[in-house]
Amino acid sequence: MKVKVILNPTAGRGRAGKERQVIAEALARYDGEFSLEETRTHNHATEIARQAVAAGYDLIIAAGGDGTVNQVVNGMAGSGIPLGILGCGTGNDFASMIGMPKDTLSSIKQIMEGEVKWVDLCRVNRKYFISSVGAGFDGAVAHTVNQSFRWIRGMAAYLLGVFKTLFSYKQHPVRLQVDEETYEFKALLVAVNNSTTYGGGIKINPEAKIDDGLFNICAAKNMNIFEILCCLPLAVTGAHQRLKKVMMLQGKEVTLESRTPLYYQLDGEVIQDRILKFSIYPRSFPIKGAVIEPSTVCVPSPPEKVRVDAV
């Protein structure tokens, strides 16, 4: 087996970089050809992944956080090559979603000896993802965290970003279309998820399944500061679903339009746009070593290779 490891040495406040030797020694115990390459600049992981696909690697392993995973996904989408995930970053939400251990050695064993499971591949505009997108307040919080709290990890960084953003954020009038239904409202946030959590464990869409061919959407409407402060602790456990100003939706095609550009975060990467168009490729992305309960929703069996557009 020919294995490529793409490691982001700055992920998790440098934790990933410290794992390099552990990763190399662990992989050396398995028969095969192994190559480890560190990222140097933003989106370098995407380029390395594209090169690994072209070079004919049998398995690509992303070592970093959710942002690193997302970059690698964008470099290998449609290749049919399995992805392994070592959660060495800040949030590691997707690694947790697929049952990866926190210990690097255990994760490598699970990847190398585990089965391949197929999950949904998702797209927003010209970017692919397999986990989550948060638009509006959520995107503004991610922007704040990236600018001010990069040395703090996980949910703590997210909550600090929330409180710094809280008093200056202006909510956007939006138009949200989910399949054939259309909703217009002033949005605090709109989260479109394939997985259940983001922000280091915030259960924003606790009913989401990563292999059911459906997006799960959480839309929080026109909340004042007091309502936001009440909603936050509920979102940690998923109890925010009961609030009157929160809509929980599900669908295959999603479009979010804002009159003015709004920030959105794509697995931690912050982008700004006015129109976000989402589409989903059911069970078309292979993950090696994932431990998930198969969805009971009937979707087509995965093709050997799904055709997707280059990004």
Q: Could you report the per-residue pLDDT of 286-308, keeping only the tens digit for each?
A: 999 999 987 766 555 554 455 66
Q: What is the biggest distance separating any 2 CA atoms in the chain, rounded to whole angstroms?
A: 58
Would you say residue 243 has pLDDT above 90? Answer: yes
pLDDT of the residue at 304: 44
Are 164 and 247 in a shared domain? Answer: yes
300 within some domain = no
What would the mean pLDDT of 156-182 be, rounded to a whole number? Answer: 87
Mean pLDDT of 144-172: 73
Contact 281, 306 (CB under 8 A): yes
pLDDT for residue 298: 53
Encode pLDDT of 198-225 as tens digits: 878 889 999 999 999 999 999 999 999 8
* Domain closes at, from 114, 143, 176: 114
pLDDT tens by residue, 74-83: 999 999 999 9
Instruction: Over range 149-155, report the average pLDDT.
Output: 59
Within this chain, do residues 72 and 178 fall inside the same structural domain, yes or no? no
More confident residue, 170 or 258: 258
What does DSSP assign to residue 67? H
Lowest mean pLDDT among 60-64, 102-106, 108-112, 165-169: 165-169
Find the mean pLDDT for residues 25-51.
Answer: 96
Say yes or no: 106 and 149 in one domain: no
Task: Please give the tally of structural domains in the chain.
Answer: 2
Rounded mean pLDDT of 261-271? 87
CB atoms within 10 A of CB 267: 26
Q: Do both 89 and 173 map to the same domain?
A: no
Domain-ending residue, one of 114, 149, 166: 114
How distant is the alpha carbon of residue 143 from its chain centre?
Answer: 16
Element (H, E) at 5: strand 2-7
pLDDT at 149 over 70: no
Q: Is the pLDDT of residue 310 over 60?
A: no
- Single-letter amino acid, residue 102: K
Nearest-angstrom CA–CA distance, 188 and 222: 6
Contact 94, 195 (CB under 8 A): yes
The whole-model pTM stands at 0.90
pLDDT tens, 63-74? 999 999 999 999
Mark whether 174 and 225 lie in a shared domain: yes
**CA atoms of 216 and 6, how far apart (whole Å):** 29
Instruction: Specify whether 200 is located in the same domain as 137.
Output: yes
Q: Show the DSSP H helices in 19-153 as ranges.
A: 20-27, 44-54, 66-76, 93-97, 104-113, 137-148
Tokens representing residue 280 in the block: 């989903």
In a domain, residue 199? The reply is: yes
Structural element, H or E, at residue 63: strand 59-64
**Residues facing 174 on adjacent strands:** 185, 258
Classify residue 211 as left (phi > 0), alpha (psi -120 to 50) or beta. alpha
Rounded to the nearest integer, the mean pLDDT of the chain is: 90
Q: Is residue 124 part of a domain?
A: no
* 190 pLDDT more than 80: yes
Asked if residue 78 and residue 157 are part of one domain, the reply reads no
Q: Where in the sequence is the domain holding 149, given as residue range(s)?
A: 132-280
Per the model's pLDDT, the better-predicted residue between 138 and 149 turns out to be: 138
Dihedral sign for Cα atoms in the order 291, 297, 300, 306:
negative
Give the pLDDT score at 299: 56
Band the pLDDT of 14: cuts 50, 70, 90: confident
pLDDT of residue 239 exceeding 70: yes
Question: Is the model's pLDDT at 148 over the cut of 80?
Answer: no
- pLDDT for residue 198: 87
100 is a domain residue: yes
pLDDT at 289: 97
